[in-house]
Structure 1
């Protein structure tokens, strides 16, 4: 019986190893070329945990397969440091030149009676120099609700507000039918100028139907499981493919910037994704530099991931990173102090 159990555990371990190795490819394979890798990227966190548990089992059994398991887990160490913040507690009020925040405000907390006032007060009193917002109301009058920030720029549902002058601004255009939006502004801070992008990449467009499917699947109702998985997977793949294209368009624009770049926003993608990898290549991620733990930023109906990011040019430095856990929206706000 023990021998049969070992055989079953070996099969499970090999499948888990292959799955984990597959998830490692998600940041590097364009989903427009091969989409399955992008789906495996969502399972990275869970596959890593499963592989660690299986590793402990094989160590306890004193079996050589544990060595292979260690090697496969170790091969993904760069992704571990991208996914999990391993930094000590940051020093409060350390010297810095700029405070910046990104916040998906969900149309000012749509559906919640007191949410608009709470979000407005929170942002105005946050003390940040620049705030990048996504799902911003598409009304010019909305900027009047943020008097702490006299300079602003908006397109579609993304906005950029600043205490400092925006001396030049523009819009990144995407293919028709894409729901992404991105604006940028060149901001003069003393003798320095930086370019800041506020971005909202393609959403999954998961509505009430998909929410119901997800609830049924997670509650154990498998009656329509096959069709449900196909429906949600199709939405994920389409969004992954579109974000890959959008990220490349933004990256090409960033590379032409005459100033150091900071890009903030709701990428709608985890650190184990092609879109994130495209935008973060050659950049510093404030979470990796100063963050701790998982740092999940989405708190809606579906599984939580870190999909809101602050990246900056390597010539700049991260002083601190904070994810505030106020629940005025379906995202947490993310803030970072940066030095020039």
Structure 2
């Protein structure tokens, strides 16, 4: 192999730097954000580190240099992270008996303060929900003026206002009976988690609607580039620490649940974070199972961000996942179709077929 020239040495040094940063990012889901909140910020940039390492690998391949192995090995070590970032088209199945369509959507209080120039945002959100017709709708940042918006399609509802003026909160709307409901109150914030026990046919299952602490990032380039980096990192570090505490509260509560469950909502963090890893555990992620592309759920200028999730117990079967592109909030809705009978039903049908 030829020795590296001066320019290639500089490029390889940069390559090594980004490879190390990517490797460090792989470790972050195992690091308590409350103990190292500022380091946890790196998890947000993992997609960038992956993309840069792919470019370095391609560069060295074109140059016929063995240095491509550095990024290749690092990417292979974290292939699960790559899988969580981008999926090739999943094969969706038709909705069948026993399947439930669930949508999660942070509606940003229906554009009440005119962040978007369109004046008909509430009507357009209602139209989208009506056309997609999820069986269960989990809403974050619900606004009191829309409390009757979904009455005609969803006879079973749970709305919980969490701000001091009782105007903003979270909501769950269901076409199926809700037999139990409650709210997990997070200290020092207006965020919370709702839970409802839903009955469909002879199945009872729990749905959690999570809205974890916001990172308070303005997603537009012009705001980020002029903001004081130190203040931004400190604010994000504090948010990571609060999320840590909120996940602890949620995790303790779900351990008391005797039903199978679906966890949905706005986690305000990425699939590469401690928060996501702790919440997911051994649950299925609808995007990983049936998604395609980047699965963007947050309107961020720099790269596609997936911070809204639908997770299910292992014995439920995810048959479809859908992301949307219509910008009616700073988030995009996410919907999954779930066979709540899942594997147990599949095994039963297989046994009947054999007999």
User: How high is the TM-score relative to the length of structure 1?
Assistant: 0.89
Partner of 2:50: 48
Q: Find the residue that maps to 1:45 and give its secondary structure.
A: helix
**Residues of 2 paired with 1:277 and 1:131: CA distance?**
24
Instruction: Look up the SS of the partner of 2:194 in the other structure.
Output: strand
Tell me how far 1:128 sits from its aligned partner.
1.1
Partner of 1:168: 180
Aligned residue for 2:329, secondary structure, equals: coil
Cα deviation 1:242-272 (Å, max 9, x = unaligned): 1122122212212221111101111111111
Q: State which drifts further: 110-119 or 301-310.
A: 301-310
1:267-311 Cα offsets, whole Å, 9 max, x none, are 111111111111111110000000011111112677541111100
The CA distance in 2 between the partners of 1:197 and 1:123, in whole Å, is: 19
**In terms of mean alpha carbon deviation, does 10-19 or 60-69 score higher?**
60-69
- Pick from 141, 144, 158 the counterpart of residue 170 of structure 2: 158
Is 1:188 the counterpart of 2:199 in the alignment?
Answer: yes
Contact 2:182–2:196 (8 Å) recurs in 1? yes
Aligned to 2:237: 237
- Check 1:7–1:144 CA distance in 2 against 1; reply closer, same or farther (3 A cut): closer
CA separation of 1:69/1:301 partners in 2, compared to 1, >3 Å: closer, same or farther?
closer
What is the aligned partner in structure 2 of residue 253 from structure 1? 253
Deviation at 1:68, TM superposition (A): 2.9
* Aligned twin of 1:276: 276
CA contact (8 A) 2:22 2:46 kept: yes
8 Å contact 2:43–2:273 — kept in the other structure?
A: yes
Name the CA distance, whole Å, in 1 between partners of 2:274 and 2:127: 36
Q: Which residue of 2 is the match for residue 330 of structure 1?
A: 330
Return the offset for 1:44. Answer: 0.9
CA distance in 2, matches of 1:301, 1:10: 29
| Equivalent residue for 2:88, pick from 86, 89, 95 | 86
Q: How many Å separate the matches in 2 of 1:188 and 1:257? A: 15
The alpha-carbon distance between structure 1 residues 171 and 45, as it changes in their structure 2 partners (threshold 3 A), is same
128-137 or 303-312, which deviates more: 303-312
User: What is aligned with 1:228?
Assistant: 228
Stretches of 4+ aligned residues off by more than 6 angstroms = none
CA distance in 1, matches of 2:86, 2:96: 23
Give secondary structure in 1 for the equivalent of 2:207.
strand
Give the unaligned 5+ runs of structure 2: 162-168, 342-355
SS at match of 1:136: strand
Residues 95 and 337 in structure 2, CA contact (< 8 A), matched pair in contact too = no
Which position in structure 2 is the counterpart of 1:12? 14
Deviation at 1:328, TM superposition (A): 1.8
Alpha-carbon separation, structure 2, partners of 1:205 and 1:37: 17
Conserved? CA contact 1:180–1:246, under 8 Å: no
Cα distance in 2 for partners of 1:326, 1:151 equals: 27
Q: CA–CA distance in 1 between the matches of 2:144 and 2:28?
A: 34
User: 1:129-185 deviations in whole A, cap 9, x for unaligned?
Assistant: 10000010146x71354320011112221100101110001111222x123211100
Match of 1:21 in 2: 23
Q: Bigger shift: 33-42 or 251-260?
A: 33-42
Are the counterparts in 1 of residues 198 and 206 from structure 2 also a CA contact under 8 Å? yes
Say which of 154, 157, 171 aligns to 1:149: 154
Q: Provide Cα deviations, 1:189-241, integer angstroms capped at 9, x if missing partner.
A: 01000100111110123469x9754143xxxxxxxxxx711121112111111
What secondary structure is seen at the aligned counterpart in 2 of 1:294? coil
| Secondary structure of 1:85's aligned partner | coil
Equivalent of 1:61 in 56, 60, 63: 63
Rounded Cα–Cα distance in structure 2 between residues aligned with 1:231 and 1:212:
16
Residue 166 of structure 2 aligns with which residue? none
Q: Which residue of 1 aligns with 2:345?
A: none
